[in-house]
Amino acid sequence: MNRHWFKTILPLILFLMVYSAFSAETDSLQNSLETQLAKKEFKNEESVLEYLEITSTLYTYSPTDALYYVTALEKKLEAQNNKNGKPYVLSKKATFYWLQGIYDAALKAYFEALSLFEESDNKIEVIKTLNNIGETYKKQADYSQSAKFIKLALDKLDEIEEFSPELILVNLGQLFMLKENFDSANYYLNQILNKDSFSIKSRGFTYLYKGIVNRKTGQSDSALFYLYKSLKIWEEINYDRGIVESNSEIASVFIKQNNFVNANQHLKLAEVLALKINALDLLLKIYQSKIDLFKIRGSKDSLVYYFDQYLKIKDSIFNSESRAEINKLSIQYN
């Protein structure tokens, strides 16, 4: 009896221990940021970058809190008319919006950061930001704008010999994948796979996109091969967004194969983690897959529930008023 009770209560004990450690780390990071906001004058760019590095660590525990503290720093600097590190603050804010799928706000902040990086002739950050803008347009399925900004980033690579083109090559591969130009997608993705020097994160994305290309071309076994390789990389480096994306794509393959048990298992894993990191764009995709799954299975109640969830997320991501403002910011690059 006692042994059975212990086995029952053990998972709860472990959960409470992990949650306690998680809360302690979050509190420690927040206290550090609060102290810096209250006492630090941010007299140079380095002090701003140190603060932003802490927000990046906090993001892994609490995305909304991390965004709050970046915005709080932005307001403090503005109130003091302090320009130190301003483009980096805007870029970090944009990235946090991007990670949560709030793309209009991300674009606005990226464009503001880009203008400041151009003013200071920071060529590396200009290339990174152009690429990020292209990536953000890609997430909104605006492929012509995406291609334009990724190409601008690629064109500027000639100015800086030490800057690696790997991320831009991966993004071009994904862009052609989304446009269903699979030959061109494979051309760019294979450039990554054929070299050992590229980073593990770039390789993870390459496996992910190769998996999607194979799924879309009806090669399920090859798709699962690449998708599981990407998932292994994300788990090794603790990259939550990647874990969500790979699980979601694996589920899509299983849905196509009518393997509903495995599909639902991977979607559950993806949904829990997407909710934790507040990744609205990934939740939208997961709920679409859930709709597809329950439509095939004929589960009416579940279908209605996830359709409602899908509409809520979609409404929160798209905002026509901010879209008009972004169009004004982008027109100078036409």
**pLDDT of amino acid 18:** 44
Fold (CATH) for 46-134 = 1.25.40
Kindly state the average pLDDT of the residues 214-225.
Answer: 97
Task: Look up the pTM and report it.
Answer: 0.77
With bands split at pLDDT 50, 70 and 90, how would you rate the model's confidence at 160? confident
Parse the chain into domains and list their residue ranges.
Answer: 46-134
Q: How confident is the model at residue 110 (pLDDT cuts 50, 70, 90)?
A: very high
Alpha-carbon gap, residue 266 to 289, rounded angstroms: 11
pLDDT surpassing 50 at residue 332: yes
Q: Which of 138, 212, 211 is nearest to 168 (CA)?
A: 138
Q: Choose from 1-10, 87-96, 97-106 the range with maximum mean pLDDT.
A: 87-96
**What are the pLDDT digits (tens) for 7-45?**
455 454 444 444 454 566 788 889 989 999 898 889 999
Instruction: Give mean pLDDT, residues 272-295.
Output: 90
Residue 319 pLDDT class (50, 70, 90 cuts):
low
Most confident of the following: 3-7, 27-31, 284-288: 284-288
Average pLDDT, the chain: 86
Q: What is the pLDDT of residue 19?
A: 45
Lowest mean pLDDT among 7-11, 100-104, 252-256: 7-11
Count of Cβ atoms closer than 10 Å to residue 17 Cβ: 10
**Contact predicate 172/153, CB 8 Å:** no
Calculate Rg over the CA atoms of the chain: 22
| Whole-angstrom distance, CA of residue 156 vs CA of residue 123 | 8
Q: What percent of the chain has pLDDT over 70?
A: 86
pLDDT given at position 316: 65
